Chain A
């Protein structure tokens, strides 16, 4: 995880639930490369074709509510999303994203300071998000140590891998 994340933003509304991120009919797809073609099909149809690696998703309150489908953050990660920022998140989406190593930042008031396509800078440790076009910024409480550590090693798979390795006393693979 980088401490400073910069990218162009895509702005979504409030209460974007998992059905709007990735529809029920795509849930049998396992390949993230295939999944990413359908991301935000309902909420923001231009995204799947137009998004570039490093782009930042900015949303209102309760982003990712609804089901536990990890397809939602997986599709966002596959498309190369640099970070997901929202006024607030639904619980399982938030956990899933962090576990996948996708920087996820809850910052109340963030949606109001961005318009589609604005350049953004996120300072993960300092806890600040700035609109580089307007200069407006909001602050957020930096993630707890435990979660920063998870993002730093690249997600839960890596973290458990290291733990199991340490337990076996084996050399790193």
Chain B
């Protein structure tokens, strides 16, 4: 298509050109982007005040707004109950019918993913930083704050600075017991938590093409930890097959131009790569899991959950490993599916029994222990092994508590052995 000063556009540039109704855009340009989908979770309660203060009376397009409560579901504190109440009232007033309330709830990003709310070519925004996950559908999906969301609800658009793009090409085969989570941790170890600040990350190459949509969601999810504005995978047949029956609006299958200009290109070969682990206190403090296993780090809590890794595929894999084993004495193993639909699927497949009979607690779907504000909070000297995405000081409560980030399989292996362990020991 059109050229940007003599070269083509990256995936992010071309999606943002569409969103701003321009032929082409260049990095650094400030644009007004038209929003295809706006998502709010509990933080959206803080959108209501500014929305009214702006003098707005109606939402630009109620059919493009999704509300999904997830951090405290059902409400675990009075404060959370009040946030939910504010959202329910606002939704009723504004005729926002796409409200995933208690009983039909799930982690907001998973709700968007499994219901086809974000499709190729979209500009999607949400009041949560991991909205990046939805870039796996070939969209620009970014987190924004609640005041900004108020402006989006009022106008249907927002200002954006067009980001430069980092292209990450991945080739090679992931070995047994090595997952998409290990790959994204490996990338974080390189790119670091500031390496993609304000930037778009475009993942490609044969390994990425070989990943399933759930695996691509995991990769794009942790692009947030690189500081990026968005993480994306170009749409292909897998994207279309995944969305075929569920897409909520028309797809715009935009591809990067062959002569797109990238700020930086990173080439990664995953042949022979071991499982990875992010050690305290940063998601980029990444080491091969095999090294850490030798240190015999005892775990107090294991968490299989969060928007990064609590999809049905993750829970199936976890259950397969769990079968025939017990949770180690002294380990609290919390399993929290990412949505009610996944919960129900686990029930059908008999996966819940596998976990609970082994001594795990299987909770309803929510953010659960991921963020230290609801349940599964740690004591200061404790260690948690987690399939989630952040391990900053204070993430699960006290600043001293230590969180290690790994794949779902490594969480289960560690829950069984009572110390940080390699899932390949279990014959994976």
Restricting to A2-49, which residues have a CB under 8 Å from any CB of B? 15, 17, 19-20, 23-25, 27-30, 42
A19–B148 touching, CB < 8 Å: no
Which of A17, A24, A99, A159 contacts B145, CB < 8 Å?
A99
Over the window 387-416 of chain B, the binary record of Cβ atoms lying under 8 Å from chain A Cβ atoms (1 yes, 0 no) is 000101111010100000000000000000
Query: Size range of the interface on B?
Result: 35 or more
Give the chain A neighbours of B194 by CB distance below 8 A. Answer: 15, 61-62, 65, 88
Known: A96-B147, A164-B56. A20 touches B43 (CB 8 A): no
Q: Is A171 an interface residue (CB 8 A)?
A: no
Q: Mark interface residues in A152-163 (1 if CB within 8 Å of B CB, else 0).
A: 000111011101
Which partner residue on chain A sits nearest B84 by CB separation? A28
> What are 6 pairs between A and B in contact, CB < 8 Å?
A20-B392, A28-B72, A28-B77, A65-B227, A96-B148, A144-B30
Which chain A positions have C-beta within 8 A of B45?
Answer: 30
Does A68 touch B at the CB level, under 8 Å? yes
Q: B174 at the A/B interface (Cβ < 8 Å)?
A: no
Interface contact tally, CB-CB below 8 A: 134
B247 at the binding interface (Cβ < 8 Å): no
The main secondary structure of chain B at its interface with chain A is: loop
Q: Is B372 an interface residue (CB 8 A)?
A: yes
CB distance from A42 to the nearest CB of B (A): 5
Contact B50 A157 (CB under 8 A): yes
Question: CB-CB < 8 A to A24: which residues of B?
Answer: 371-373, 394-395, 397
Q: Are B198 and A91 in contact (CB under 8 A)?
A: yes
Residues of A within 8 A of B128 (CB): 67-68
Nearest chain A residue, comparing its CB with the CB of B32:
A146
Measured between beta carbons, the chain B residues less than 8 angstroms from A165 are: 55
Say yes or no: A92-B372 contact (C-beta < 8 A), given A20-B394, A164-B154: no
Q: How far is the CA of A171 from the CA of B233 in the complex (A)?
A: 47
Known: A19-B372, A96-B145, A99-B145. 11 other contacts (CB 8 A): A20-B394, A25-B373, A28-B42, A28-B373, A30-B79, A68-B43, A70-B46, A70-B145, A88-B197, A91-B198, A156-B148
| A42, B198: Cβ atoms closer than 8 Å | no
Q: A69 touching B148 by the CB < 8 A rule?
A: no
- Given B145, B372, B390, which contacts A95 in the complex, CB threshold below 8 Å? B145
Known: A20-B393, A28-B82. A62 touches B193 (CB 8 A): yes
A30 in complex: contacting residue of B46, B147, B161, CB < 8 Å? B46
Q: Write the B12-46 contact mask toward A (1 if CB under 8 angstroms, else 0).
A: 00000000000000000010000000000011011
| A67 surroundings in chain B (CB, below 8 A) | 128-129, 371
Task: Give B139-168 as 1s and 0s: 1 = Cβ < 8 Å from A's Cβ atoms.
Answer: 000011111101100110001010000000
- When the two chains form the complex, which single residue of A88, A96, A144, A157 contacts B54, counting CB atoms closer than 8 Å? A157
**Interface size of A by Cβ–Cβ distance < 8 Å?**
42
Q: Are A42 and B148 in contact (CB under 8 A)?
A: no
Is A100 in contact with chain B by the CB < 8 A criterion? yes
Residue A66 lies at the interface, judged by CB distance under 8 Å to chain B: yes
A71 to chain B, nearest CB (A): 8
Cα A170 to Cα B51 in complex, Å, equals 18
For the complex, give the distance between the alpha carbons of A73 and B79 in Å: 20
Contact of A23 with B372 in the complex, beta carbons under 8 Å: yes
0/1 per residue, A135-156, Cβ < 8 Å to B?
0000000001010000000011
Is there contact, CB below 8 Å, between A157 and B150? yes
Q: Look across to chain B and name the residue whose beta carbon is closest to the beta carbon of A24.
A: B373
Interface assignment of A113: CB less than 8 Å from any CB of chain B: no
Given A24-B373, A30-B45, A156-B151; A173-B129 close (CB under 8 Å): no
- Cα distance A67–B9 when bound, in Å? 29
Q: How far is the CA of A165 from the CA of B273 in the complex (A)?
A: 58
- Contact partner, A160, options B127, B151, B371, Cβ 8 Å: B151
Q: Residue A78 at the B interface, CB < 8 A?
A: no
Q: Nearest CB to that of B372 among chain A residues?
A: A24
Output the least CB separation between B127 and chain A (Å).
6
Chain B residues lying within 8 Å of A62, measured Cβ to Cβ, are 193-194, 197, 227
Q: Is the CB of B373 within 8 A of A27?
A: yes
Please, how many angstroms separate the alpha-carbon atoms of A141 and B305 in the complex? Answer: 42
